[in-house]
Every structure is written in structure tokens, then in C-alpha cells.
Structure 1
Amino acid sequence: MGAVWEPWAAIILAGGRASRLGGVDKAGIELGGRTLLTWALDGVVDAREVVVVGEPVPTERPVTFTRENPRYGGPVAGLLTGLDALASVPRYVGVVGVDMPHVHHGTWRRLLAAAAGTDGAMLVGPDGRWQLALALDTARLQEVRPDHEQQHDHPLRRLLAPLALTPVPAEDREHQDIDTWADLRDA
């Protein structure tokens, strides 16, 4: 795997409904004394720019906050809203759900290295399912982008289907997300 030395940007998706958590704001949930948003921001420490698609909250790192319109449009609407909010669009963008606290800078280095020269890369759990941790070529993403009216509730798999994404096996607990209170307990 070659290394990506060019700057990249990160989009953290933090604007979901969290219905299995009773509608609580996932970004503000604490794990080990730190919010899930703080975990996600620490994970993308190497990104030159970060956009958080979710409610604005104080952070130690400068980030851009934005919301998809209409709200709760799903991951595709969030990803594309985040892409549009970038001050400058780099060749690669990292996309991660705020509920994946074990995705760290080493994960991003592996994803970006696997994405080099391709449409992108995706983190794959031990069960073979892909996770919401992706490194995507922004030009290819723009080519498959649906019209604004079709972004709301657009399936992420449908958006990514035309892209040749390199699978990157998760290490340790990178693939674990927090969708339920039991997930939080087990994290």
C-alpha cells in the first residue's frame, strides 16, 4: 500500500436521530470521560480541515459545523453537506460516524494508503460488513453524487456502488460503533 502524503479533510457525521438511544445526541455521549465527538476529532488529528455535520458545540480543535437540509437526511445527505462545507476540497476526504470511537489516526493512515490511486477505501469489520469509516476520492464522489432533491434518505450503499472501494480490515475494535446503550456499556 502506498502512502497518501497530500492533505486530506475529514467529515464527521453527527446529525442522526439516534433512535435506538432514545434520541439522545450521540456526539455528547461520554465514553471514558470524553465525548464521542472528542474521540472522533482525536481520530482525524492529521486532517487539515474538519467538518462536523451536527449541532455546534464547543471543541478544542477548530472545526466547521453544518447541518443537512432538511435535517435528518441520512448519511448521504450528511456526507454531501459536509463536502460542500469544506473551505477547499482535497483529493481525499475521510468520512466517519461520530459513534465510532475506536477509529484513530492509524486507521486513517491505513484507509488513506489503501485509497491511493483508487476511488477510495472502506473499513470492514471481522464479519465482512463495511463500516462508516471511509476514505473517498472527492472527484469520483462528485461524479456519482445525486441531485440535491435525491440526497435525503438516499442509501449510502447506492451512492458508493459505482465506486471501486478497497476493503481495509478492521484491527482490534475499530469496527465497533455505538448504536445502543448496550454498545456503550461494552465499549
Structure 2
Amino acid sequence: MTFAAIVLAGGRAERLDGADKASVEYQGRTLLEHAIEALADAAEVVVVGDPVPTTRPVTFTRESPRYGGPVAALLTGRDALLGSARTLGVLAVDMPKVTPWTFRRLRQAADGRDGAFLTDADGRRQLAGVLDADRLDGVRPEPEAQHGMALRTLLADLDLALVPPVGDEGHDIDSWADLRDL
């Protein structure tokens, strides 16, 4: 398998009053369904979060301890993959405007590099990207250091392309106002 993906869906969603982001609806579908659709090219998808109904078969898992942050979730998802993948997609569940086309652009931008990530309109890296699986494994910290680690710390030594958003694809939903405004 060449491309597998991990959806990060296990955060606390404090600015959404603790709602399960994966189950929040946008345009008649859950945010998780939007994320899974964005990863249509992935041979396998692992969702790091609580199980919710999906239309495509996925593997659900949780980081331990819960709420370990994006690094712990990403690496837990990596460990839960059933097959081996050369390229890993990673997507936060709260980015419903990301599409399969977005991930095709990211994969193209990552060619010859360690990965590529989408930015928001201000150029800040978002939690939508692709990583070379071997390079990710090469910077993997010890388990006790993963919990609470910032993703930028994990990825600091990797050669990553930054890909500007097209339209609203770089927006994420952190609050009810974000959902309303999108």
C-alpha cells in the first residue's frame, strides 16, 4: 500500500462545549464523513477518536492516556494501521473543506521532501498534510515524551512543503462561531 491516512478526532473540543467534533454536522453530514471523503485515495483510514457510524470502513483507536494531543494521536494512528504505507495522510476532523484534490496537491508537493502541509490563509500550518512514513518513524520520540508534545516540535527537523489553501480548505472549526461562519 502506498497511501494510508489518519484522522485526528479525539480532542476535548473545549470551545465547542466539549462536543464530539466527529459527530458535529456540517452541510448534512458529520465532520468525520467529510474527513473520510477527503481521504478517498487512501487504501486504509484510521480514526483516532471514539467510534461513530461511518459509510466507509475505518479502524477506530484511542491514544492512551486519552487527550494526549496531536503527536500522541498521530503516532497511535500510525501504530494502528493494518498495512504498511509509504505515505501517511493526516487530517484533523474539523476541516470539512479539505477534499481528495487537496490531498493530491499535498502528495505532489511532498515529492522529494519529507512531507507537505496545508496552511491557512495567513500561512500558518494546519493539521492537514502528508508525511513520508519512514521519516516520521525516524523522528518518533519515546512514548513518555509523546503525550502533550506539540506537532511542530515533532516535525521540526523534517523538510516540509507548505501548500497555500484554495478557497476555504484551510479553515478549521474550533468554535460554534467557526461552524456558523463557514
Q: TM-score range by the shorter chain?
A: over 0.9
SS in 2 for 1:183: helix
Letter of the structure 1 residue corresponding to residue 173 of structure 2 = I
Letter of the structure 1 residue corresponding to residue 32 of structure 2 = L
Whether 2:95 is the aligned partner of 1:100: answer: yes
For each residue in 1:65-123, what CA deviation from the matched residue of structure 2 results, as whole angstroms up to 9, or x when unmatched?
00000000000000000000001221110001000000100000000011122100010
**TM-score (normalizing by structure 2):** 0.98
1:148 to 132, 143, 151: 143
Whether 2:44 is the aligned partner of 1:85: answer: no
Identify the residue that residue 67 of structure 2 maps to in structure 1: 72
- Cα RMSD after superposing both structures: 0.8
Q: How many residues align?
A: 182
**TM-score (normalizing by structure 1):** 0.95
Matches within 5 A, 1:163-178: 163-178=158-173
Q: Which runs of 4+ in 1 moved over 6 A?
A: none
SS in 1 for 2:47: strand
Q: Which runs of 5+ in 2 are unaligned?
A: none
| Identical counterparts, % of pairs | 61
Q: Which runs of 5+ in 1 are unaligned?
A: 1-5
The answer to whether the 8 A contact 1:83-1:89 is kept is no
1:45 to 37, 40, 43: 40
Identify the residue that residue 132 of structure 1 maps to in structure 2: 127
SS in 2 for 1:70: coil
The answer to whether the 8 A contact 2:46-2:61 is kept is yes
CA positional deviation for 1:40: 0.4
Identify the residue that residue 157 of structure 1 maps to in structure 2: 152
In 1, the alpha carbon distance for the partners of 2:123 and 2:163 equals 10
Identify the residue that residue 4 of structure 2 maps to in structure 1: 9
1:59 to 50, 54, 57: 54
